[in-house]
Structure 1
């Protein structure tokens, strides 16, 4: 096995490992942002529902 082939194999393995970590971090960030968006929408719906409930009670 010549040295060039060995370095190519090691380079491919290193590239896969680095890509694995980058994709993992990117997906965690995307899921975190999506979760934040869902929480914001649910919080807005709950807030509007509570306003509506308490407004009807006062009237």
Structure 2
């Protein structure tokens, strides 16, 4: 095996390891954003339901 072949194999291994960590980090960021969006939607629904319940209670008084 020549010197350039060894460096090619080392380069490929390093590229795969770096890509693995980058993809993992990107998926963590995307999952965090998706989770944040879901929390915002649920919080909005809960807020609207609570506002509706308190509006009915105030109208009954």
- The answer, yes or no, to whether TM exceeds 0.5 is yes
Shift of 1:58: 1.1
Runs of 5+ consecutive residues of structure 2 not aligned to the other structure: none
What is the 5 A alignment of 1:14-25? 14-25=14-25
Runs of 4+ in 1 over 6 A off after TM superposition: none
What TM-score results when the alignment is normalised by the length of structure 2? Answer: 0.95
Q: How many residues in Structure 1 have an aligned counterpart in Structure 2? A: 59
Which sections of structure 1, spanning at least 5 residues, go unmatched?
A: none
Distance, in Å, in 2 between the alignment partners of 1:40 and 1:54 is 21
Number of the residue aligned with 1:5:
5
2:30 equivalent in structure 1? 30
